[in-house]
Amino acid sequence: MELGYHPSISDRLFLELNRSNFSFLVTNKDLIPLHSGEFQLVDVELLDQILKTNKVFDQIFSSVNLNIRGADFVLVPQDLSSDTNRRVLFLMNYKLDPMSDLRSGFIGNAIEIVYRIPTELVQLLRNKFKNLEVKHELESLSKCWFGSVVNTMSHDMYASISQGKLLLAVRSKGKIVFANIFDINNSDDVFYYCMLTVEQLELDIERINIFWLIEDDRFQLDALQKQFQNYVNTVRPYLFDISGDVSKDEFVIAHQGMMAMLQCAS
């Protein structure tokens, strides 16, 4: 496989594990996309073959970031944080299979996120890229989305749809007040979980803004906007600071979660 771009040691590599998908994006030091690709992933042997047969992964990168998407998680107050508590709280909500392990990160407001990672896949990537940094998608997005300037009179809901999973997070007065992940099959499921969250948090429905990241062909933004238009204040896509021809790139359009991670990169 030819590189298709001119590499530099200042280039950055962004990776994403999204259940059965493995994606990559190479940018220059200014985070301008240079090269990208996507693979169907079934096991560690296939990932090993992908890494060995694609020259792009043999290059030197100034940083390598791995985004974990669609992974089950729980939120834990930092004052209750310990290895034992993390595991107990996670196992109260989910099962942990022998091929997975737990990892924790920080999402602000003295809250940790504890999430499932595919152990062998992540270890293989660590062996390949010694400077690999691993984060859950919510951990990545909290850095910029939850840290941005806010209207204290509104409630912002972030909704990410990908491979039959809905990640919901709510920011009120600049603080994360809710985050969870749900299995979904259709737009009615999406509507149900969003409105259930609104009801449980007792949010003022006239001050709710929903920002969407959609990477599932079964769900279209226009249809979701129509479904929600009589119930919430604003429904619109999450906007990226991407200009020029790059904004029209098929990979950029199809991998909004990775682009959000890129936008939040330091």
Separation of alpha carbons 186 and 184, rounded Å: 6
What is the structure's pLDDT at 15?
93
What is the structure's pLDDT at 242?
47
* Structural domains of the chain in order of their starting residue, each with its CATH number: 1-145 (3.30.420.250), 155-237 (3.30.420.40)
The band of 163, judged by pLDDT with boundaries at 50, 70 and 90, is confident
Q: For the chain, what percent of residues have pLDDT higher than 90?
A: 44
What is the structure's pLDDT at 10?
95
Give me the mean pLDDT over the 15-41 stretch.
88
Sequence length of the chain is 266
**154: pLDDT strictly greater than 90:** no
For 68-82, 98-112, 117-131, 227-241, which range has the lowest pLDDT when averaged over its residues? Answer: 227-241
Question: Which residues 6+ apart lie within 8 Å of 169 measured at CB?
Answer: 138, 141, 142, 146, 157, 158, 176, 178, 179
**239: pLDDT strictly greater than 60:** no
Q: What is the pLDDT of residues 174-183, one digit of tens each?
A: 778 899 999 9
Give me the mean pLDDT over the 215-223 stretch.
80
What is the structure's pLDDT at 249?
53
The answer to whether residues 172 and 203 touch, using CB atoms and an 8 Å cutoff, is yes
Three-state secondary structure readout of the chain: CCCCCCCCCCCEEEEEEECCEEEEEEECCCCCEEEEEEEECCCHHHHHHHHHHCHHHHCCCCEEEEEEECCCEEEEEHHHCCHHHHHHHHHCCCCCCCCEEEEEEEEECCEEEEEEEEHHHHHHHHHHCCCEEEEEHHHHHHCCCCCCCCCCCCEEEEEEEECCEEEEEEEECCEEEEEEEEECCCHHHHHHHHHHHHHHHCCCHHHEEEEEEEECCCCCHHHHHHHHCCCCCEEEECCCCCCHHHHHCHHHHHCHHHHHHHHCCC
**149: pLDDT strictly greater than 70:** no
The answer to whether residues 209 and 170 touch, using CB atoms and an 8 Å cutoff, is no
The answer to whether residues 108 and 146 touch, using CB atoms and an 8 Å cutoff, is yes
Choose between 201 and 217: higher pLDDT.
Answer: 201
Give me the mean pLDDT over the 131-151 stretch.
75
What is the structure's pLDDT at 116?
94
What is the structure's pLDDT at 108?
77
The band of 150, judged by pLDDT with boundaries at 50, 70 and 90, is low
Give me the mean pLDDT over the 243-251 stretch.
48
What is the structure's pLDDT at 75?
93
Name the range with the highest mean pLDDT among 3-17, 130-144, 147-161: 3-17
Could you give the C-alpha distances from 83 to 90, 123, 126, 128, in angstroms and in order? 11, 20, 22, 27
What is the structure's pLDDT at 153?
62
Q: What is the average pLDDT score of the chain?
A: 84
Q: How many CA atoms lie within 13 A of 84 on its CB side?
A: 0
Distance of CA 62 to the CA centre of its chain: 22
What is the structure's pLDDT at 11?
95
**244: pLDDT strictly greater than 60:** no
In the chain the first and final C-alpha atoms are separated, in Å, by 30
For 30-34, 104-108, 240-244, which range has the lowest pLDDT when averaged over its residues? Answer: 240-244
